[in-house]
Amino acid sequence: MISIICPVYNEQHSIRQFIICIKDLMLLNKVDYELLFIDDGSEDKTLDIIEAEKAHTPNIRAVSFSRNFGKEAALTAGLKFAKGEAVIPIDVDMQDPPELIIDLINEWKRGAQIVLAKRVDRSSDTLLKRCTAKAFYYMHNKLSAHKIPENVGDFRLMGRVVVDHINSLPETQRFMKGLFSWVGFKSSTIHYTRPCRENGESKFTFWKLWNLALEGITSFSTLPLKIWTYIGVCIALLSFCYGVFIITLALLSGIDVPGYSSLIVIILFLGGVQLIGIGILGEYIGRIYMEAKKRPLFIIEREL
C-alpha cells in the first residue's frame, strides 16, 4: 500500500478537485493507497470537506491539529501516521502533478528507496523567489556537510525503511528537506515542470521562507558559529599591524593628533561585526532553548 500524505492549511478551494484527481488516478492504475490529510489548523471548510469525502471514500484518513503548527510539523505527523510501504508527501494545490505519483511508484519498484521529483523549470515562480531559492541552495550546500538536492521540494517517494529512520529522529526543530537527505539511502530522480497554483494563494510569505532558510542552515551547519574565531583572528592581526604602524609613525614624526574619523569608523565597524556575531549566537541559542523544552511538535485535536 502507498500512503499519500497531504498537509493542508485553508485549502477549501483546492481539496475536492485534488481528491477526485487522486481517486481516478489510483483506480485507473489499480494502486492500493491511503490518502492521509494533515489538517494544519485550517480555519475554513477544509476539514468539513475532507469529512464529507471520507463518507464515501474509505481510503481517506485525516488528523487535525489544534492550531496551525506549520508545514514541517504537518509533514512530521504525516510520516508518523502513514501506514504504507511507501510514503509520498504531496501538496493539494496541484503544483505537484498527481500523475507523477505513478512514475514515482514505478521507479520505486525498480529498487530505489527514495525517488525525488526535481523541478526542471521554475518559471511558475516569481523572479525574486527563483533568485532567493538559488541563493539558499548555494549557501546551504556550501555551509553544510549534508547537501540537499537543488529544486527538489517535499514531493518525493520514500520507502518504509527511510520513513522509519526519519521518524526515529528526536529533534523538534525539523527542517524536513534536510532530514530527508540526512538519512541517506540510494535515490533516483524524475524531472517535471512545476505548474502554477490552481486555486487560492501560497501560504508561504517571504518572512516565513526566510525563517525556513535560517532553520535549514542552522539545523545542518555550525560553520556560522565557528567562523567568528577566524574573523576575530583576522581583525586582531590587522589591528596589530595598524598598531605597529601608528607607533612607528609616532616615534618617527612625533605625537600626532589622533584622527577622529579613523577612530569612529573602527569603533562602528567592530561594533557591527560584534553584533552580527552575537546575533548568530542568538540564532543557535534560541534553537537550543526551544529544543530543551521538549514540547511536542503538534497537538492532534481530531482523527478521522
Least CB distance from residue 202 to Mg ion, whole Å?
A: 6
Q: Evaluate whether 216 touches 287 at the Cβ level (below 8 Å).
A: no
Beta bridge partners of 38: 7, 63
Q: Evaluate whether 77 touches 65 at the Cβ level (below 8 Å).
A: yes
Under the criterion CB under 6 A, does residue 92 sit at the interface with ligand UDP? yes
Residue 124's binding partner among Mg ion, ligand UDP, none (Cβ under 5 to 8 angstroms by kind) is none
Q: Which of 93, 108, 113, 213 binds ligand UDP (CB under 6 A)?
A: 93
Under the criterion CB under 6 A, does residue 178 sit at the interface with ligand UDP? no
Query: What is the edge-to-edge ordering of all strands in the sheet holding 152-159?
Result: 187-193, 114-121, 152-159, 86-89, 2-8, 33-39, 60-65, 300-303
How many angstroms separate the CA atoms of 96 and 92, rounded? 8
Give, for 155, the enclosing helix (H) or strand (E).
Answer: strand 152-159
22/183 with CB nearer Mg ion: 22
Helix residue spans in 35-150 (DSSP H): 46-56, 71-81, 100-109, 127-143
Under the criterion CB under 6 A, does residue 34 sit at the interface with ligand UDP? no
Least CB distance from residue 133 to ligand UDP, whole Å?
A: 10
Under the criterion CB under 5 A, does residue 93 sit at the interface with Mg ion? yes
Under the criterion CB under 5 A, does residue 42 sit at the interface with Mg ion? no
How many angstroms separate the CA atoms of 86 and 178, rounded? 19
Neighbouring residues of 232: CB distance < 8 A, sequence distance ≥ 6: none
Under the criterion CB under 5 A, does residue 95 sit at the interface with Mg ion? yes
Under the criterion CB under 6 A, does residue 40 sit at the interface with ligand UDP? yes
69/220 with CB nearer ligand UDP: 69
119/187 with CB nearer ligand UDP: 119
Under the criterion CB under 5 A, does residue 14 sit at the interface with Mg ion? no
Under the criterion CB under 6 A, does residue 68 sit at the interface with ligand UDP? yes
Q: Which of residues 194-223 bind Mg ion (CB under 5 A)?
A: 197
Question: Cell match 517517494: residue?
Answer: 157
Interface residues with ligand UDP (CB under 6 A)? 7-9, 11, 40, 68, 70-71, 74, 91-93, 95, 197, 202-204
